[in-house]
Amino acid sequence: MGVPSLRAAAGALRRACGPWTPLLGRRLLGLSAMAGNAKVPAPVGARQEQDKKARCGWQGGARIWDDSEPQTKRLKSCVDGEPQKKLPKRKIVLLMAYSGKGYHGMQRNVGSSQFKTIEDDLVSALVQAGCIPESHGEDMRKMSFQRCARTDKGVSAAGQVVSLKVWLIDDILAKINSHLPSHIRILGLKRVTGGFNSKNRCDARTYFYMLPTFAFAHKDHDVQDETYRLSAETLRQVNRLLACYKGTHNFHNFTSQKGPREPSAQRYILDMFCEEPFERDGMEFAVIKVKGQSFMTHQIRKMVGLVVAIVKGYAPEDVLERSWGEAKVDVPKAPGLGLVLERVHFEKYNRRFGSDGLHEPLDWAREEAEVAAFKEQHIYPTIVSTERHERSMAQWLSTLPVHDFSATAQAAASPGAKVPSPQEGSEGDGDSD
């Protein structure tokens, strides 16, 4: 090819590719004027980008893991090839129902496995369901656990409420109940404020006491006559006496834990009455309901016991007034079998948070049908069958004649007479808060 032809070809190439500098072209191609294949350092900005990608484990636009990166960091967020979700830990309340027969109350006694409680079974189910770690089951303070009320040995509940922090797993109620016996059920769950405490936030508690109506038969009547039926006149007398408890009184004689001058012995009773009787398995029963701000150890059972003693004719009616004075009064304690925690109330909490758009009111209206079904299936039948076979009420009624309901009045009238201390004869764990 001649020189004119070469010049023509070069001109065509320049027109096609535009102007260029031979030295710059050699740098872009990685060439050097002194060494044909030696690499020339990239500009500063390009080097920083390359170093950044190298540190982050990138090659060819796709990220790779450096072998020097610790293996635990790669496995921390995945299990069996699936991303591990960090479950939220939230403060909740659980609505519980249980039959207390065979249990030594509600409250767990850590380190005392021979006395099984409701909370033993509850904590075990929470751990097995994956709601709390095992360490929280060993130390319940770690999950901020609190119950609305302690229930005594053999006492049941249809509306107990506990507060705690848990992992909100899917199908949480079904999973907890799958690890509980049929006579303990979680019927409801609601989110509450972070500082919520079920005991401190509870305004009032409603209990009921179910007993065979022959307990109100006169003392001259057969102690266990299953054919006995409560008359309308006797029911009115019972309700008149129960109404005397309403208001604020000093209940130191209705527990073994308080002295007559302790301020905490003053308790406020909102209501107390006996409902119409009903029959179960050929025996007539009645239900006494009592609503109060809080109750002391054995207080409700003694309130029932004293009214029974008056109606049967063992104690005079004025013993009620005397029992609220400072003097010691002999108050009989009815059996624990018929006592049931029916409902707990959170009126103040509901007024403040129940309609704030973030929290639900703690009224459990949607769970009422399940609560009623549980009582029919587990609580009422247990009380009826146990009373029929173990005769707990009949045996207790036979002990009423040994109580001396006039001793205090005589002692108070005698100069220098010593009144027994209300702290004598300590009793067991409480049936209430």
CB 259 within 8 A of CB 282: no
Distances (CA, A) of 118 to 17, 106, 131, 153, 300: 88, 5, 18, 10, 21
CA-to-CA distance for 103 and 91, rounded, in angstroms?
27
Alpha carbon 74 to its chain centroid, in Å, reads 38
Distances (CA, A) of 328 to 3, 292, 323, 400, 425: 135, 23, 7, 17, 12
CB 219 within 8 A of CB 312: yes
CA-to-CA distance for 321 and 272, rounded, in angstroms?
17
Does 380 show up as a binding residue in the annotation? no
Q: Is 433 a catalytic residue?
A: no
Active-site annotation holder among 152, 330, 429, 433: 152
CB 163 within 8 A of CB 193: no
For every residue of 224-241, DSSP letters joined together read T-TT----HHHHHHHHHH
Distances (CA, A) of 94 to 166, 189, 193, 364: 11, 5, 14, 10
- The enclosing H or E element of 175 equals helix 172-178
Can you tell me whether residue 94 is helix, strand or coil? strand
What percent helix, strand, coil does the chain show, rounded to 5? 35, 20, 45
Cβ neighbours of 270 (radius 10 Å): 15
Non-local CB neighbours of 27 within 8 Å, separated by 6+ positions: 40
Q: Which residues make up each annotated binding site?
A: 207
Q: Which residues make up each annotated binding site for substrate?
A: 207
Which residues are identified as catalytic?
152
